[in-house]
Amino acid sequence: MRQRIKLCLNYLLYAISFLFPRDKQKWVFGNYIVDQFGDNPKYLFLYLQLYHPDIRAIWITEDPRIYHELQQKGLEVHIKCSISGFYHCLTAGVYIYNTFPQDVNYFTSGGALLLNMWHGVGLKTIEFSITRGSLAACYRDKKLTYRLHMPWRFKRPDYLLSSSPFQSKPFAKAFRIPVERCLNLGYPRNDVMLMPEAVRLQLIRKYEHADTIPYIEKLRKFHKVYLYMPTWRDSTTFLADLGLDLQRINQIMQAKDELLILKMHVNTANMPVEGLSNVWILPWCLDVYSIFPYTHTLITDYSSVLYDYLLLPGKEVILFVYDLEKYLAEREFNYPFLPNVAGHVVQDLEAFYAALGTTGELQRNNDVNIIRERFWGNYNGHAAKDLTVFLKRTLGLPESEFEEVPVKQIASKSGI
């Protein structure tokens, strides 16, 4: 009974939300992982703080820890179901999220401009392109219970952030929108990787966790740093089940004064690394996009993080796809896998250990420049700036705030 009453009240709130006047200069942000301040919305949010004070950027969260952390950094943040959270969600002109409007609050979004920034460039089918698996019942069968209890899954965004025309075609199909509403501007989360070193370090000092700079300094002491980021599997312990030998990897790393960092998917259990000097777990509090530039080799498989990493010049990629045939048979892809990735492909544990132990250059299966252009087009490291320009022009807002703040001014704002 309580659930029914709550659902009725939510729909009543949604209807009322269309009646509220919307402030075009108030933009609310949210993340689909509720206990993280991260991904594309985070980096557009921070860009606006520094360079567009005429826009009131507000982060909406359900997590008290995120609330207090952002408050301490001087950023405006409100709890989703607080009075102030409801007020700002009901009066904001723009909703910015990376999965569904519910990342902010679907039931207060009536009449707002909806921008879905999504959270990955990749090969796998998503949303309404899914035809099999656990989500097919929602998207393919379109059951009434899903529509009633999760209406945000069916809400079409006004705009969807994309990376290139090549990627926009499957995106448009997945979100049931015209391809013209896909914005081929790149991802703000990658801007931090490509900006000048001095600017990046100032931003890290100002906005990232206090442990980030000390961690980067530790990485600089190693001759080479590997970062292993596998995508999730149905089993949360798939690496242990595979028999991945961290002791052996630690010995390989020690012999060459190198380091392997494990960054597991949120749905995957961490491997035990106690007593290992050269195999670490990336602390949960560190944003991996601040860490990427200080690594040398990404190890991944079917994760879209591959394409982010390919933007960094002079880096290597190991594609550890031990379950390639099984994974391709069970998952749906928009394009053939191997022709659309660039990296050193290994398909068994011994080949993986050998790749870690090599001292020479790893051979790639495809030209990285071709893959980069295919998936990123003309992206030049200024996605946040280009997206802000687009939104302001779309909303009819003045464009007088487009000048960026010099590095020294960023430093002074952060008290450095």
Task: Bin 74: left if φ > 0, else alpha if -120 < ψ < 50, else beta.
Answer: left
Rounded to an integer, what distance in angstroms lies between the CA atom of residue 341 and that of residue 351? 19
Tell me: the pLDDT tens digits for 140-175? Answer: 766 788 888 899 999 999 999 999 999 999 999 999
Tell me: the pLDDT tens digits for 371-390? Answer: 999 999 999 999 999 999 99
Cβ neighbours around 62 below 10 Å, total: 14
- Cα Rg of the chain (Å, integer): 22
Tell me: the pLDDT tens digits for 182-218? Answer: 999 999 999 999 999 999 999 999 999 999 999 999 9
Q: Above 50 in pLDDT, residue 124?
A: yes
**Residue 347 identity:** Q
Range 325-335 average pLDDT: 89
Which residue, among 175, 124, 161, has the nearest Cα to 340 in the 3D structure?
A: 124
Q: Above 70 in pLDDT, residue 411?
A: no
Rounded to an integer, what distance in angstroms lies between the CA atom of residue 338 and that of residue 66? 39
Cβ neighbours around 149 below 10 Å, total: 12
Tell me: the pLDDT tens digits for 223-233? Answer: 999 999 998 78
CA distances from 169 to 52, 157, 163, 174 (A): 31, 15, 11, 9
Q: Are strands 159-162 and 182-184 parallel, antiparallel or unpaired?
A: parallel
Instruction: Compute the C-alpha angle 317/319/320, nearest 5°.
Output: 135
Rounded to an integer, what distance in angstroms lies between the CA atom of residue 334 and that of residue 319? 19
Tell me: the pLDDT tens digits for 251-296? Answer: 999 999 999 999 987 777 777 889 999 999 999 999 999 999 999 9
- Residue whose tokens read 């009066």: 91
CA distances from 227 to 213, 249, 316 (A): 17, 13, 11
